[in-house]
Amino acid sequence: MSHTLSTGPAIVAPLDDLTLPQFIFGGTHPARPVVDTKAACLIDDETGRALSLDELECRTNLLSRAMKERWNIGDDDVGKDYYPVICWATQQLGAIVATVNPSLTSPELVHQIDIVKPVVIFAHTSTIEVVRETINSQMQKIEVVLIGEQPGLTVDDLISAGLHSTVNLKKKQFHSGEARRRIAFLCFSSGTTGNPKHPAVKSYDLSHVRFCMVAAAPLSAELTQDLLTIWPDIHLGQGYDLTMEANESIELGMTETCAAVSMFPTTQKCGTLGSGGQLVSGTEAKIIKADGTLAKRGEPGEIWVKGDQVVLGYFNDEDAWVRTGDEVLFAENGDLFVVDRIKVIHSIFLKKPSNRLMVQEIMKVKGFQVSPSELEGQLLTHPDVSDVGVIGILDDYSGELPVAFVALTAVSAKRITGNQQAADTLKAELMKHVSDAKSRYKWLKAVHFVDAIPRNPSGKILRRVLRQQAQYVEREKVKL
């Protein structure tokens, strides 16, 4: 078997001279249903307030007008935001939206701001302290617009200003084919935020739900059955996608697939239990075994994909594949099953003349990608740490959780020898050293002290050895 191709219908590409808001508000496509533009389009889950497509377009235009007048935002300027109106208002001016995880700490946000250099930041009131701390620490002059009620400039203030603005709103119009090459979003990571169930869900009537697709983290067969018990009449299944983190050494946005690589067929009421579905239309995949050869049906290996949903960094390179770092296999009927994460990940083809390969190991925690080297770098700043290695251990709820193996300095090691209380206190201190600086999903599950971190002759951490040590520690806990 050489490659696996999608058996879905051929894709009808959308017009390639439209911005996203132009397509949302007026674009035509054979697969697009007739939309009642006055019917509720978005409903706020906290207030119950509904906005129609017409209202969304009006608010988008007013916000665009105010943004143009206040910051003269235009081609390729960058703003940070979350909500559709802000995204569309930014994009119809030809500017770029850079999304940011609201759980980031100030040092993490500094890193992203340094990369994208935003013109304006839209921030929810719950995150405003971190945003202002970040801006002040960098002595940058970036105006912040609040989403929510708090003293300061708000989105509603801008929309109201747009009503009285005299600026001529000239929406960005692409040339033929330009939409394929222009960046709309800069995305830094994958995954979703928060718990799997929103507390407000219990207060809503969900009897009208007809379709549910789960992605970013696996849905077990047991949980699938639980959902079908709650919603016996829905179409339910899983999808598989991937999102590699943007890195300052590569062009932003180049290492991501938009939406799905696979999903359960719409002809099925319930997707095959445990499966990520089948390749979506226009997608090609190949499974590469550990020895570099192509796998046959039913054989596991790393999945490489390419298709129109692979964004700009791969768009003009027909021979480029996205290496996912996921070990999968294809069943005879085309169903995709994720077997494991491959611990040599991620591999990224760069847009450089050499087209060289970068390799970075990644853990997947609650759908988020976490770099062990990032956590190791943080721990090495602690005065008691001499060396450190971080690995991911399997967890039924989170997928993986980071665990640190720490070699202490000679003085610190002597201090805790024979003193379990001192050792426990130091472990807690090291875990806090990480949690104070990193987002919650990067927090350590545990710290283990070792005499030395196993490394090969070239100095690379032997994480396989650390995983074996972690398994030993877990077995000893069971015995106790």
pLDDT in tens, 364-391: 888 788 888 889 989 999 999 999 999 9
The candidate with the shortest Cα–Cα distance to 286, out of 251, 361, 336, 247, is: 336
Residues 446-456 have pLDDT tens digits of 999 999 999 88
Query: Which pLDDT score, from 0 to 100, does residue 349 have?
Result: 42
pLDDT level of residue 79 (50, 70, 90 thresholds): low
Q: Domain spanning 14-186: which superfamily?
A: ANL, N-terminal domain (3.40.50.12780)
Pairing of strands 120-124, 78-80: parallel
3-state class of 438 per DSSP?
A: coil
pLDDT level of residue 320 (50, 70, 90 thresholds): low
CA distance 466 to 463: 5
Asked whether the predicted pLDDT for residue 147 surpasses 70, the reply is yes
CATH number listed for the domain at residues 199-360: 3.40.50.12780
Q: What are phi and psi of 435, to 5 degrees?
A: -65, -30
Question: Which range is least confidently modeled, 85-94, 224-233, 359-368?
Answer: 359-368
CA distance 281 to 33: 19
* Domains of the chain, residue spans: 14-186, 199-360, 368-479
Q: Are 369 and 245 in contact (CB under 8 A)?
A: yes
Asked whether the predicted pLDDT for residue 409 surpasses 70, the reply is yes
Q: Are 105 and 437 in contact (CB under 8 A)?
A: yes
The order of strands in the sheet holding 262-263 is 211-214, 235-240, 262-263, 278-279
Question: Which range is least confidently modeled, 200-204, 233-237, 264-268?
Answer: 200-204
3-state class of 66 per DSSP?
A: helix
Q: Which helix (H) or strand (E) holds 338?
A: strand 336-341
Question: Which range is least confidently modeled, 177-181, 235-239, 472-476?
Answer: 472-476
pLDDT level of residue 189 (50, 70, 90 thresholds): low
- For residues 459 and 168, which has the higher predicted lDDT (pLDDT)? 168
Question: Which range is least confidently modeled, 55-69, 235-249, 292-306, 415-429?
Answer: 235-249
Question: What distances in angstroms separate CA 467 from CA 293, 301, 351, 459, one per listed residue?
Answer: 27, 20, 34, 18
3-state class of 467 per DSSP?
A: helix
Section 109-130 average pLDDT: 89
CA distance 373 to 363: 11
CA distance 45 to 56: 17
Whole-structure pTM over 0.75, yes or no? no
Looking at residue 310, what DSSP letter applies? B
CA distance 240 to 285: 13
Dihedral of CA atoms 446, 447, 448, 451 in degrees, nearest 10, equals: 160
Asked whether the predicted pLDDT for residue 65 surpasses 70, the reply is yes
Asked whether the predicted pLDDT for residue 114 surpasses 50, the reply is yes
Confirm whether 199-360 and 368-479 share one CATH topology.
no
Question: Which range is least confidently modeled, 282-286, 305-309, 330-334, 387-391?
Answer: 305-309
Section 77-101 average pLDDT: 81
Query: Which pLDDT score, from 0 to 100, does residue 162 have?
Result: 94
Q: Which residues lie closer than 8 Å to 395 by C-beta, 6 or more apart?
A: 401, 445
Q: Are 190 and 28 in contact (CB under 8 A)?
A: no
Asked whether the predicted pLDDT for residue 235 surpasses 80, the reply is yes
Question: What distances in angstroms separate CA 185 from CA 79, 246, 305, 367, one per listed residue?
Answer: 10, 12, 21, 19
- For residues 291 and 244, which has the higher predicted lDDT (pLDDT)? 291
- For residues 315 and 177, which has the higher predicted lDDT (pLDDT)? 177
Query: Which pLDDT score, from 0 to 100, does residue 390 have?
Result: 94
Asked whether the predicted pLDDT for residue 358 surpasses 60, the reply is no
pLDDT level of residue 247 (50, 70, 90 thresholds): very low
pLDDT level of residue 202 (50, 70, 90 thresholds): low
Q: Which residues lie closer than 8 Å to 13 by C-beta, 6 or more apart?
A: 308
Dihedral of CA atoms 163, 165, 166, 168 in degrees, nearest 10, equals: -80
Question: Which range is least confidently modeled, 88-97, 308-317, 324-333?
Answer: 308-317
CATH of 368-479, one of 3.30.70.260, 3.30.300.30, 3.50.50.60, 3.40.605.10: 3.30.300.30
